[in-house]
A and B are shown apart, each in its own frame.
Chain A
């Protein structure tokens, strides 16, 4: 039977949830409301005057074919970042899980990149792939490949994906590793006795048991790719070449904080909020059905 803690009266429970409600109100509801409100105006940068335009900002954005292309760019970018940050993390976690000697050192080394801020990671990768002095681009040049992410759109996308995913691999590794440790040894041993080899055991037993973690990471990583990657884009490509790496959140940042167009920027964040909200709801509705807790 389920255990339930019950309170007498409502004062104590209210006091207990109040901090959470306050934090949500101050850091989420208030700014979100502000964004929605601001998206209905075209203000001047200094806040001296503001013109009400109704849905004019949304109309301005959605009739812009470049903005619509940005949705497509974002979809590609987010999918790639999610895959590139989750698959290697799972692979490394499986390897680390089998280690007996030196597991601690190995783990620590793998977690390190997470401590590097996205913008700094961007600079690191930019230096490695710099078309003039980059180590990697130099070796590629030796192999006869002319690396130029300044003009080549595919290479630019590849670079920002790798730079955004790199630190994330550590984060995902940590969760996968913890989940792997929780897989009951008895089940695995039983399968081994039945003659299942490692990869078969992995795909038929371990992976399904990891599904709650995988699902959690999927949601969290997509949110990360949508919202937290503008530092990387800003330092590496500034959205270029042309608009190859202009993802939605980078456009929010550059229109608002470089272009001083706060109305459009606010409208874009509202659109982004709706997109990510919808995506998360869809994930919970359809993907979660396949998760075994």
Chain B
């Protein structure tokens, strides 16, 4: 044997040794949209799973923000290189659902690989968003939150308002805002995610439709109904507040969070998942309240709906990989993992058992207010108006709503005119989506 053949033989031996260990564990790809603390927590979950068994290996990759991750998944599918699991934000749900040849519904996956799967273990108002009209779970809820009212207690005290004052209706909030404004505050109220909180959730919470056909669950021929009297009243009031300096608009996403965490704003409507950030940064005494309702609306408060993302299983992989995928999804739904996720992030638990475990751990007693989101979501059985939203081109429709709301905040349009225009423009996109997916 010459030196050269020895080297080649050695290399081949080394390579085959390396590949044989790699073949032993089935590897699956998981694309997500989390960075920072949330990214670390996801990495920890994946690591725990990989160490808990030796048959499967999950490789998690960050692919940008929600929109970018969805785009990466779509582009990869077109190139036939899609991951096994793709994280998609709730807004992309209708897009994924309509792509029947690209996704494998979770219930189908579980039956196919013969994994144990009990849909009734999941919290109704969480899984409802990702369930077909005949009750089949299509994707696995991952991170879900719901909007609540964050209160800067110190700011209220400075304005001579008792921080424990009742703020369960918008009428009561109005009175508080007056006092805070009178004390010289530049930002009595601000918000994050205006469409999600003040139109989508606002509608569900007052049991009025956001769109026809059960908010789009019952068919692609849905039309926006967000210009009803309850929504118009709410948006007009907020527009008036903006004019009077009682509501400060900070931007389309969660820009207002910076103002609230810096102590500049007294009240802040934001996701329950804002908890981690507020707890870490706020140098004032804060509390969390349920989202307020308008007095005299029948059925209010109903329940709020979720925001966040779910995990979609993609088509085009082999049976072994689907087994691995099912095992990982079941692992994520297990009580310990879910309870930890819920307590670390402020996102809602996805299973009933995880919620009960958190209670038993005494977490809610130690962190008052952290259960408000759970109660607000689960107090009532969801109705057709409060199960969630399933609208095509929803990301663009939210963009349209943002534009129209800005016209109200700046005083260019009345709430009625802005919401009528939003409905008309949004409906055009819904018709296009229907055309593309018929």
Q: Which residues of A contact B (CB under 8 A)?
A: 42-49, 51, 53, 60, 64, 66, 131-133, 150-152, 238-243, 254-255, 257-261, 263-264
Contact = CB atoms under 8 A, between A and B. Distances in A.
Nearest to B418: A242
A151 B99 contact: no
A242 B252 CA distance: 11
Contact of B436 (A44, A239, A241, A258): A44
B265 to A, nearest CB: 11
Contacts of B438: 51
Nearest to B101: A48
Given A240-B402, A242-B406, A48 B436 contact: no
A254 to B, nearest CB: 7
Interface string B274-316: 0000000000000000000000000000000000000000000
Contact of A242 (B71, B255, B262, B407): B407
B196 to A, nearest CB: 16
Give the one of A131, A238, A260 with max B CB within 10 A.
A260
Nearest to B409: A151
B250 interface: yes
B406 to A, nearest CB: 5
Given A46-B74, A151-B249, A239-B399, 6 more contacts: A46-B101, A48-B102, A51-B438, A64-B428, A150-B255, A261-B429
B436 A240 contact: no
Interface string B371-397: 000000000000000000000010110
What is the interface residue range for chain B against chain A? 35 or more
Contact of A132 (B77, B95, B259, B429): B259
A48 B249 contact: no
| Main SS at interface, chain A | loop
B99 A242 contact: no
Interface string B410-438: 10100000000000010011001001111
B406 A257 contact: no
A60 B98 contact: no
B251 interface: yes
Contacts of A257: 67, 71
| Main SS at interface, chain B | helix
Interface of B: 67, 70-71, 74, 77-78, 95, 98-102, 249-252, 255, 258-259, 262, 264, 393, 395-396, 399, 402-404, 406-407, 409-410, 412, 425, 428-429, 432, 435-438
Contacts of A132: 250, 255, 258-259, 262, 264
B437 A44 contact: yes
Given A151-B249, A254-B399, A46 B102 contact: yes
A43 B435 CA distance: 9
B435 A42 contact: yes
A154 B290 CA distance: 38
Sort A-B residue pairs by CB-CB distance and give the 10 closest, nearest first: A259-B396, A46-B102, A241-B406, A42-B436, A46-B99, A48-B101, A151-B410, A242-B403, A47-B78, A242-B406
B249 A150 contact: yes
Contacts of B259: 132
A242 B249 CA distance: 13
B251 A150 contact: yes
Contacts of A259: 393, 395-396, 399, 429
Contacts of B102: 46, 48
B156 to A, nearest CB: 21
11 contacts: A42-B436, A45-B95, A46-B74, A46-B78, A131-B250, A239-B403, A240-B402, A258-B395, A259-B393, A259-B396, A260-B71
Nearest to B407: A242
B425 A66 contact: yes
A261 B393 CA distance: 8
A48 B425 contact: no
B128 to A, nearest CB: 24
Nearest to A264: B432
A133 B262 CA distance: 11
Contacts of B100: 48
Nearest to A47: B78
B349 to A, nearest CB: 31
Contacts of A48: 99-102
B393 A260 contact: yes
A145 B393 CA distance: 39
Given A42-B432, A44-B436, A258 B406 contact: no
A131 B99 CA distance: 41
A238 B252 contact: yes
B53 to A, nearest CB: 32
Given A150-B249, A240-B403, A260-B393, A45 B432 contact: no
A263 B436 contact: yes
Contacts of A264: 432
A259 B400 CA distance: 11
A150 B435 CA distance: 35
Contacts of A42: 432, 435-436
Contacts of A46: 74, 77-78, 99, 101-102
A133 B261 CA distance: 13
Given A132-B259, A260-B74, A45 B406 contact: no
Contact of B403 (A60, A131, A243, A255): A243
B95 A260 contact: yes
B393 A240 contact: no
B261 to A, nearest CB: 11
Nearest to A42: B436
A259 B412 CA distance: 26
Contact of A151 (B264, B393, B406): B406
Nearest to B187: A132
Given A45-B99, A242-B407, A60 B250 contact: no
A239 B396 CA distance: 12
A261 B396 contact: yes
